[in-house]
Amino acid sequence: MAKTTFNKSPLSCDEHISLLKERNLIIKNESYAKHKLSIINYYRLSAYFRPFYVRGEETFKDNTTFEDIIKLYYFDKKLRKIIFDKLENIEVFFRTKIIDVVSKNGPFGYLEMLNKDKKDEILEKINRELNRSKEVFVSHYKKKYENEHFPIWMIVETISFSLLSMLFKNLDEKSKIKIANDLDLPVDVLESWIHNLVYIRNICAHHSRIWNRILAIRPKIPKRKKEFHELNNKKIFFTICVIQYFLNYIDEEENSLKNELQNLFSEYPQIKKRNMGFPDNWEELKIWE
């Protein structure tokens, strides 16, 4: 396809409403619509138009209302909050596991445990993040000690989840196997799952759409876990099952993910769960027992 020059002019709120009406969207309350468009960027909201379009057109299906789109937008927002909250538990747990395993070789043992080809790059990234850190314990360490490097527990509790994923991937195989075995997973699957969770966390942190998204970074399907075999790893439900798997290991008694999802779906019964990869019997799957 030949490229062209972008020359669209920005539209006002009133012009956006007129455009939506021209495209067959029912707007019952223009004041309500104007208010929502004043607090939610039109371009952001437009990501939720597509399921309501006539196939192959930018025209809304008959009887589609502005409220239908807003409900989908707020459903997605609440789903992101649920996911983001659960990811915190997993991230803290994973940091703890890495500290437990790596610190057995001493505070600086990780220097001998990192992949030699990636070691300098990782250490540079670690030092950059810790030097930017405002944590009191980091500034205290730099003032008191002359060591070039930081202890592993200080590193793991300070660096980003993304860099933590990179650190784990480049540890020696023995350490990775120990952490993966504790979760009853192969190393390659755990690496893939953590990479996917970092990606999903970033989506949630930037308030981007989760509903109906095709995942760019897909978690591996573990061969020995039959409960994952029939699931679509291109959709968010697969990641939600990964989250559930971790939470069952972390603290099953406090795992409320299933109830929170059920409550969300009860609040928004019109939302099509299949667009997110949920099978009709999702609550009956082994992982949700």
**pLDDT at position 222:** 97
Indicate the residue type of 195: H
Contact (Cβ atoms closer than 8 angstroms) between residue 15 and residue 9: no
- For the chain, give the percent of residues with pLDDT over 90: 87
Average pLDDT of every residue of the chain:
94
| Buried/exposed 44-55: b ≥16 CB within 10 Å, e otherwise | ebebbbeebeee
Check whether 72 has a pLDDT greater than 90: yes
15 pLDDT tier (thresholds 50, 70, 90): very high
92-126 tens-digit pLDDT: 999 999 999 999 999 999 999 999 999 999 999 99
**pLDDT at position 1:** 67
φ and ψ at 53, to 5 degrees? -80, 150
Look-up of token digits 């897909």: 218
Contact (Cβ atoms closer than 8 angstroms) between residue 192 and residue 225: no
Average pLDDT score over residue span 182-208: 97
Q: Name the H helices within the chain.
A: 13-22, 30-39, 42-45, 66-102, 110-113, 119-132, 136-144, 152-156, 161-169, 173-182, 187-205, 236-251, 257-267
Look-up of token digits 């952001």: 44
119-172 tens-digit pLDDT: 999 999 999 999 888 889 888 888 899 888 999 999 999 999 999 999 999 999
Average pLDDT score over residue span 30-55: 94
Q: How far apart are CA 193 and CA 211, in angstroms?
A: 19
Between these two residues, 251 and 178, which has the higher pLDDT value? 178
Comparing 111-120, 219-228, 253-262, 269-278, the range with the smallest average pLDDT is 253-262
Q: How far apart are CA 260 and CA 82, in angstroms?
A: 7
Comparing 2-11, 31-40, 162-171, 244-253, the range with the smallest average pLDDT is 2-11
**pLDDT at position 142:** 87
Cα-based angle 147, 126, 94 (whole degrees, multiple of 5): 110
251 pLDDT tier (thresholds 50, 70, 90): confident
* Cβ neighbours for 44, distance < 8 A, ≥ 6 positions apart: none
Q: How far apart are CA 182 and CA 42, in angstroms?
A: 46
**pLDDT at position 148:** 85
Look-up of token digits 């909201």: 45
Contact (Cβ atoms closer than 8 angstroms) between residue 196 and residue 239: yes
